[in-house]
Structure 1
Amino acid sequence: MTMIILGIESSCDDTAAAVIDGDANVLANVVSGQDAVHARFGGVVPELASRCHLEAITAVVDEALRQAGKTLGDIDLIAATQGPGLIGSLLVGFCYGKALAFSLARPFVGVDHMSGHLLSAFLEPRQPPFPYLALIVSGGTTALFRVDDFSRFSLLGRTRDDAAGEAFDKIARLLDIGYPGGPVVSRYAEQGDPSRFALPRAWLDDSLDFSFSGLKTATQQLHKQLACRNDASRQAIFDLCASFQQAVVEVLVEKSIRAAQTEALSHLVIGGGVSANSSLRRELLRRCTEASLHLYLPAPAHCTDNAAMIAFAGLQRYVNGDHGSWGDDVFSRSKLGH
């Protein structure tokens, strides 16, 4: 009989629980967001996020079990995000999962959130072979990894300042166009002309690292110039968003192609919340086709923070013999690639 795994995710502002089986079939994947709570602040407030997790986690886990048609007695393994993320938020899900496992006398494993994104493609019917290149793009991370198996991840490049998702959020806040910033900027960009404004790309010579702080500053200065000229019309904002998004996408795509070719890898996987961006997906598909690379695009629900990927990554840790310890604690920074 196949194992049944309960996954719990609470690294930032989404309280999530999922149930999968040992064959990576997703039986339930429930996410409770906090956008309405944080919108007035234009970003996540850690203390509020922690309190919201406390209020939601029991109901979210119960709903995941209900949707999966399972009870706690059916669960064979519990996995929870151990880090990276907001410490207060992480503690809620991690301690809840650990206490649940202890009370049920079930094994418990902590999961690096990044490994969940790196392996999220295995939740899909079409799965990549090892080794492959993974581009992880989210609010807190922009990085390229070589993935050799379920537990060996080699960091090839990372952002030196702002993550791509963080840059999207900051631009949305600057333009006062709504929260969360990434989806709003993307919607505005769909109505704009990406060639109207010339914005910089930080190529960093031959490095596979990323940098988006200069692009963010250039966009901010351009917006100030438009405002001074009384030219900050709605169409100008659409065009500015489109130009900004195009600059981010171009760097992400070209660096990914370069990394795949440097590592002699023919399979590319993307993950993280920003990987749900439609412009990024279209451009990656176009460039991968030109470069004869095989692209794997997880469903948007498996790109953003979710517990199904945590359950799968936890299963791989457990099968690999890493059963964790009751004394394990959370961590704020990813340990992968160090």
Structure 2
Amino acid sequence: MTSFSICSTLKYFNRNIYSFHCLHFVSFAAQRFSTRTYQMSALLHKSTDVVDYFGFENQPKLYHSFRPEYPQSLVNFIIEKTKQKADSSNSGKCALDLACGTGFLTTKLAPHFGKVYGTDISEQQLKEAQIHAVAENVSYAKLSAYDIDETIKHFNIQSSDISLVSIATAIHWLDTHKFLTNLVNSIHRDTTVAVIGYIIPDIMNQSLMDEKRHEATKNSSIEIITENKREQPYDQKFERYEKIFKQTKMEQYSVLEQFENYIQFNLTHITSKFWSIPFENYFKHREYREYLVAKEMSLHELVEFMRSTSFYQAFRKDNAKEIEKGLVEDPIILFASQILIEEKLLEKNMKIDFEGKIYIEAMRSIRFDVMWTFFIHILNN
């Protein structure tokens, strides 16, 4: 039994083979690129320590609109495991959300702490976070995740004031040894650390959903969260889209090779759900949880999620003139166009316009079931 996802679709376009489970493709990509991208990232951080991969025009808006929200069960787990409990009446205790992006996790932590401080190196991401800021006890600042001491000084707090340090969907961008060393040397021994990530979604049918539920019953660290309103997944859609992907032939270019030079993070950390990071060298205790979120998703949401990625935005910027002249294909446009053509919502040999209302509505009409995999490591000494 196989499922297919964004990743597996790209792999099929690349090699004209049957779609695979997302992790199979990502593992393949990791073996090919992770060593090179890790070395490249290490060099970048060594030379500047500050690299903003999320400052492209309109990217923060896409990021905030189409990235998944962290499930409340995950947030509850963080609060439960935070050693020094804090609430709005205890203004002395705070949470520090490093590499906070547009504030997805920061805002969810706000009801549970006297103060929550979010930091990021991207001015554009922080501007978007400020737009969506609703809690009065949340503050943001442009600071590097490496500079814990500077962050503590900037917000005029003591290390003993910090009940929680979180870093969500970001540690794979960092030199983990440097980051964890700085972190351990800067925080109080009673501070809880939460390291969070997710893997891009798998498209599901009923059989695959049942397999996941069965897996969860055997593993107490896995929780399945169902957000679908329907009782049964779109099985007919699954089979039809799988057939579309199998029949699609793209022999003129390699999607994977086009994106290769734009993957600047350590892909192995993502595919391993951060188990490749030796947290045990820095913390005495680790507790792991996994949350599988089943929900409905449209083709438009899936496409916009891909457009929010750093490697896609870098690819577009670097190839803008060639794409405009028709010398280079945009893989995401090609992917979405092929689906719309097969669904008879777009004429053959036409390409979609992401901003066109008619195309947006057409992509919104195509819906399927997906499952996101979120994971968290709770660390403390």
TM-score normalised per structure 2: 0.29
TM-score normalised per structure 1: 0.32
